[in-house]
A and B are shown apart, each in its own frame.
Chain A
Amino acid sequence: MRDALGSVQSVALFGGTSEIGLDIVRALAADRARTVVLAARDTDRAAATGLATDVVALDLARTEDHAAAVRRIFERPEGIDVAIVAAGLLGRQGEEQVADAAELHAVNGTGTVSVLALCAEAMRRQGRGTIVLLSSVAADRPRPSNFAYGSSKAAADTFARGLRDTLEGSGVDVLIVRPGFVRTKMTEGMDPAPGAVDPSAVTAAVVEGLRGRGGIVYVPGFLRWVMLVIKLLPRPLFKRLPL
C-alpha cells in the first residue's frame, strides 16, 4: 500500500535486469518496499541481484505469455503498489538502425504496450497503484541518429499518456519518465549528450514522482524546455541541427 507520503511497499519491475530499473528498486527497498518482484527474460540474473522476493519469467517480445505472468505478479495479498516498466533495447545507431527497427518495436513498442495494458487492468481491479514507464526524450521527435529507437519509445509513451487519462478516478496513476542521455552499460561507448545523467538521477525523479499523482517528468528537468523547443522547430531548421 502506498502511504500518505508516497512511500510504497510492493514493487514489480519489468525489465528485471535493467540497470536503471534496479537502481530505482534499490531505493524503494531502502525505504518501505518489502515485496520486490523482478520480471525478466534472464531469471537467473534477476535472482542474482539479491533484491527480489520473487522472480517471474517474462520476455517482452512474447506477448502471448504476458497475461499469465502479470496475473502471477499481482496475485498476492498486498498487491502491487508500483509497476515499473524499464525493459528495452537501444539498437544500433545511424544507418544500421533501420535493420533493427522491427525488433525494437516488438520489445519497446508492442511488448511494452502489452505489459502496460495488463498492469493497468490489474491495478484498476486493485483500485490503486502507479505505473511507471521509463520512456525517453527520443520519444518526443524522431531524430536522424536514433529514430528507430525513438519511434518504438514513442509508441509506449503515447499509449501510456492515453492510459493515464482513461485511468483518471480509478485510483491508478501513470508516471512517464523521459530521461535524456543516461550513463549505463547500454550507452557505454556512446558520446554523452549535454545534460547526461547517472541512473541515480532517474531514480530520484521516480521517487519524487511517486509522491505526486503521476504525470510526465524529464530527467534532468530542464530537458522539458529543450524538448519543447525541439518539438516546435520547423523541419528545415530541425534537419540542420547536429542531433
Chain B
Amino acid sequence: MSATLLTGWGRTAPTRADVLHPGSAGEVADALATGRPVIARGLGRAYGDAAQNAGGLVIDATGLREVHGFDTERGLVDAGAGLELDALIRLALPHGWFVPVTPGTRHITLGGALAADVHGKNHHVDGAFSRHVESFELALPGGELRQVTPEDPLFAATAGGMGLTGVITRVRLRLLEVTSAYMRVTTTRAGDLGALMESMRERDAGYRYSVAWIDCLKRGAAMGRGVLLRGEHATAEELPARRRRAPLALRGAPARLGVPDLVPSGLLNTAVARAFNEAYFRRAPARERIALEGISPYFHPLDAVGAWNRLYGPRGFVQYQAVVPDAEGEAIRALLERVSRAGMSSFLAVLKRFGEGTGLLSFPMAGWTLALDIPVGAGDLARGLDELDDIVVAAGGRVYLAKDARVRPELLPRMYPELERWREIRHTADPEGLMRSDLAVRLGLTGA
C-alpha cells in the first residue's frame, strides 16, 4: 500500500489516497472488509475524478489480469477485471475475435469499461459495453464475492455505476467475430452541420461504425463542417494479396511516440486549434473515398502517442461529452454555436449517433452525442461549460460521468432520471456507504 497523488486523464484536481495493489479477487474482498471508504481504479483513463478517493483507499485493479478462459469457438472470454483491452485484442484477434465495443483508447480495463459502460463508434448498432457482458464478479463491501448476471438488479446498477456498487473483479465477455485486422473506411466530407447530420441520420444505419469529426471553431455558413468516418470490418478476401497471408496480424505498435512532462499550459491555444482543424478538414478527400485501414489507426489513433494528455500542460484539460435525444438535434447546433462564440479552443470535437441505452446510470441514450477537449485556463471556462449544461438539460440530455470533472450536482437528477432507483439498488449492496470516489462526493451521487 502506498500513499499516492492521483488525477484522472485530464490531470486536474489531484487528491491523495492509499493505493492497494491486490493480485486476486480474494485480496480485493479482504480490502473491502476493512471498512475503509474505497473505489477501484484501472488505467486512469476516466478524464475527471471517477477513480480518485481522497483520504481513502484506491484499489488498483490492474493486477487482476488473469485470463481464466477463452472459448475460441464461441468467442467467449472470462478474465480478471484488470485485463487491458489492448491485451485482450492481442490475445483474441489471431483467433478471429475482436472486442465488441471499444472507446477511443484501448488502454482501459474490462472493469473500467463496464463501470463506465463505455461506448464505441458502433453504439448505434451494438449498444454499450455492458450489452456484451454475460456476467461478472463483484466484490461487495463486507467482503462477499457475488456472481452477477443480467437478471440481477445489480447488473444494471453496476453497468455505468462508476464503480460505486462494489469492485468488479472478473468479467465474462462475448467477443465479435472478424476475419481480418483491417477496416473498410468510408471517408465523407460535409460542408456544414446540416449536411453532416442529415448524412448521419440517413446513412449511419448502413454501417457498423460511424463517427464524425467536427471543426467546432468554424463559424457562419460553414459552422459544423466535418469529416465522416464510417467503417466495417474488412473481410480477409478484401485485403491485397500481400496482407491476405496473415489477415489477422495486428499492425502498428502502439505508443512509440511520447510526450515529456514539460509542455507548458497554453501551447494548445485557439490559434493552434484553428490551424489543426483547418488542416484536418483539408486532408480529407473532397469526394467520398473508400479505403482499407488498420484496426489500430481507425479505432485508437491517439494511442500512437503515449501520454498525449501532457500536451495540455500542467493545468490539464477537460473533456466535455453530452448526449441529447434524437429529436433534439438542434441542441447540437446550439452547443456548437456557444462553443465557437466563446472561442473555447477544442481540438477534437466528435459527433456520433447513439442507439438505446443500457444501465441505470449509463451515459448513452438514443440520440446525438458531442465530445469536446478543452484546455483548462482558456477564458471563463467554468461559466461557458455551465451554459452548455443548460442547453443539454433543456433538451433532455446528459453529460458523461466518466468524463465529467465539473458539472453542477443539482443537475444530476434531471440528467439521470433513474438516479433514485440506482441509489436504492446501490444501497442494498453497500448499506454502510463504503464505496466512495471523489466524483461521488463531488456530485452527491450516492445520496445523503
Residues of A within 8 A of B (CB): 1-7, 9, 31-32, 77-79, 125-128, 169-171, 211-212
Collect the chain A residues with CB atoms within 8 Å of residue B303's CB: none
Query: Quick check: B406 and A127 within 8 Å, CB to CB?
Result: no
Query: Quick check: A4 and B16 within 8 Å, CB to CB?
Result: no
Query: Quick check: A4 and B56 within 8 Å, CB to CB?
Result: no
Query: Quick check: A128 and B318 within 8 Å, CB to CB?
Result: no
Query: Quick check: A2 and B13 within 8 Å, CB to CB?
Result: yes
Collect the chain A residues with CB atoms within 8 Å of residue B12's CB: 3-5
Collect the chain B residues with CB atoms within 8 Å of residue A9's CB: 409, 442
Interface of A is mostly: loop
Q: How far is the CA of A100 from the CA of B48 in the complex (A)?
A: 50
Collect the chain B residues with CB atoms within 8 Å of residue A7's CB: 382, 406
Nearest-neighbor residue (CB-CB) of B48 within chain A = A4
Cβ of B55 within 8 Å of any chain A Cβ, yes or no, is yes
Max chain B Cβ within 10 angstroms of own Cβ: one of A3, A9, A32, A77: A3
Cβ of B316 within 8 Å of any chain A Cβ, yes or no, is yes
Cβ of B193 within 8 Å of any chain A Cβ, yes or no, is no
Cβ of A238 to closest chain B Cβ, rounded Å: 37
Collect the chain A residues with CB atoms within 8 Å of residue B49's CB: 1, 4
Q: How far is the CA of A7 from the CA of B13 in the complex (A)?
A: 10
Nearest-neighbor residue (CB-CB) of A170 within chain B = B16
Cβ of B396 within 8 Å of any chain A Cβ, yes or no, is no
A-B contacts, 8 of them at CB < 8 A, read A7-B382, A7-B406, A9-B442, A127-B16, A170-B5, A170-B16, A171-B14, A171-B54
Collect the chain A residues with CB atoms within 8 Å of residue B55's CB: 79, 125-128
Query: Quick check: A128 and B15 within 8 Å, CB to CB?
Result: yes
Contacts A4-B316, A4-B376; A169 near B441 (Cβ below 8 A): no
Cβ of B353 to closest chain A Cβ, rounded Å: 28
Collect the chain B residues with CB atoms within 8 Å of residue A127's CB: 15-17, 53-56
Cβ of B290 to closest chain A Cβ, rounded Å: 40
Cβ of A212 to closest chain B Cβ, rounded Å: 8
Query: Quick check: B17 and A4 within 8 Å, CB to CB?
Result: no
Q: How far is the CA of A5 from the CA of B385 in the complex (A)?
A: 10
Interface residues of B in 215-237 (CB under 8 A from A): none
Cβ of A50 to closest chain B Cβ, rounded Å: 20
Q: How far is the CA of A169 from the CA of B17 in the complex (A)?
A: 11
Q: List 13 additional A-B contacts (Cβ < 8 Å) besides A4-B48, A5-B381.
A: A4-B49, A4-B318, A5-B406, A6-B382, A9-B409, A31-B382, A32-B408, A79-B54, A127-B55, A127-B56, A128-B15, A170-B16, A171-B15
Q: How far is the CA of A170 from the CA of B10 in the complex (A)?
A: 19
A-B contact count (CB 8 A): 70
Collect the chain A residues with CB atoms within 8 Å of residue B385's CB: 5
Residues of B within 8 A of A (CB): 5, 10, 12-17, 48-49, 53-56, 315-316, 318, 376-377, 381-382, 385, 405-406, 408-409, 438, 441-442
Max chain B Cβ within 10 angstroms of own Cβ: one of A32, A127, A171: A127
Query: Quick check: B442 and A169 within 8 Å, CB to CB?
Result: no
Collect the chain A residues with CB atoms within 8 Å of residue B376's CB: 4-5, 211
Cβ of A82 to closest chain B Cβ, rounded Å: 13
Max chain B Cβ within 10 angstroms of own Cβ: one of A9, A77, A128, A170: A128
Contacts A1-B438, A1-B441; A126 near B48 (Cβ below 8 A): no
Query: Quick check: A3 and B406 within 8 Å, CB to CB?
Result: yes
Collect the chain B residues with CB atoms within 8 Å of residue A32's CB: 408
Nearest-neighbor residue (CB-CB) of B437 within chain A = A1
Collect the chain B residues with CB atoms within 8 Å of residue A6's CB: 382
Collect the chain B residues with CB atoms within 8 Å of residue A169's CB: 5, 16
Max chain B Cβ within 10 angstroms of own Cβ: one of A5, A128, A211, A212: A5
Cβ of B341 to closest chain A Cβ, rounded Å: 19
Nearest-neighbor residue (CB-CB) of B10 within chain A = A4
Collect the chain B residues with CB atoms within 8 Å of residue A77's CB: 441
Nearest-neighbor residue (CB-CB) of B17 within chain A = A127
Cβ of A130 to closest chain B Cβ, rounded Å: 11
Collect the chain B residues with CB atoms within 8 Å of residue A4's CB: 10, 12-13, 48-49, 316, 318, 376, 405-406
Cβ of B52 to closest chain A Cβ, rounded Å: 9
Collect the chain B residues with CB atoms within 8 Å of residue A3's CB: 12-13, 405-406, 442
Max chain A Cβ within 10 angstroms of own Cβ: one of B12, B13, B376: B13
Q: How far is the CA of A127 from the CA of B39 in the complex (A)?
A: 14
Cβ of A199 to closest chain B Cβ, rounded Å: 22
Nearest-neighbor residue (CB-CB) of A3 within chain B = B406
Q: How far is the CA of A96 from the CA of B250 in the complex (A)?
A: 82
**Ordered nearest first, which 10 A-B pairs have the shortest CB separation?**
A4-B405, A4-B12, A1-B442, A171-B16, A127-B16, A127-B55, A127-B54, A128-B15, A128-B54, A3-B406
Cβ of A7 to closest chain B Cβ, rounded Å: 6
Max chain A Cβ within 10 angstroms of own Cβ: one of B10, B17, B406, B408: B406
Cβ of B442 to closest chain A Cβ, rounded Å: 4
Nearest-neighbor residue (CB-CB) of A1 within chain B = B442
Nearest-neighbor residue (CB-CB) of B380 within chain A = A5
Collect the chain B residues with CB atoms within 8 Å of residue A171's CB: 5, 14-16, 54
Collect the chain B residues with CB atoms within 8 Å of residue A126's CB: 54-55
Q: How far is the CA of A3 from the CA of B54 in the complex (A)?
A: 13
Q: How far is the CA of A127 from the CA of B381 in the complex (A)?
A: 26
Q: How far is the CA of A96 from the CA of B354 in the complex (A)?
A: 74
Q: How far is the CA of A170 from the CA of B54 in the complex (A)?
A: 10
Collect the chain B residues with CB atoms within 8 Å of residue A2's CB: 13
State which of A5, A78, A125, A128 has its C-beta within 8 Å of the C-beta of B382. A5
Cβ of B384 to closest chain A Cβ, rounded Å: 10
Nearest-neighbor residue (CB-CB) of B318 within chain A = A4
Cβ of A63 to closest chain B Cβ, rounded Å: 25
Q: How far is the CA of A154 from the CA of B227 in the complex (A)?
A: 60
Collect the chain A residues with CB atoms within 8 Å of residue B318's CB: 4-5
Collect the chain A residues with CB atoms within 8 Å of residue B381's CB: 5
State which of A31, A78, A212 has its C-beta within 8 Å of the C-beta of B441. A78
Q: How far is the CA of A47 from the CA of B265 in the complex (A)?
A: 42
Cβ of B164 to closest chain A Cβ, rounded Å: 14
Max chain A Cβ within 10 angstroms of own Cβ: one of B17, B53, B442: B442
Cβ of B59 to closest chain A Cβ, rounded Å: 15
Cβ of B267 to closest chain A Cβ, rounded Å: 17
Collect the chain B residues with CB atoms within 8 Å of residue A78's CB: 441
Q: How far is the CA of A125 from the CA of B16 in the complex (A)?
A: 9
